[in-house]
Amino acid sequence: MRRVAFQLKVREDKIEEYKRLHEDVWPDMLEALRRHGWHNFSIFMLPDGVLFGYFETPSSFEDALAGMATEEVNDRWQADVEELFEGMDVHPDQKMVEIAEVFHLD
């Protein structure tokens, strides 16, 4: 499994809404994530809305994103959350910035 980390920024006035949405993620969205290799997936947030996401995948970040891009449920989810992020002119998953791993202790 490859460990992947990414970063995004939620608008400060939308932080609570973002948290509420993630209390009850759609079951078909969860299934799509699993189907495309998003395992052990967590999202962390700093008080200012900076998100740090982490997941493990059998392939690559690019493959995991490309798989989700084929899912209608992902298109609906991205459209619903797009307004919650800063500087979005495309779906948020297209703006995810991968963070390079520089250390790992197993």
Question: Which amino acids are annotated catalytic?
Answer: 22
Beta-bridge mates of residue 45 = 51
Q: Where are the beta strands (DSSP E) in the chain?
A: 2-9, 39-45, 50-57, 97-99
Helix (H) or strand (E) holding 68: helix 61-69
CA dihedral sign, ordered 78, 81, 88, 99: negative
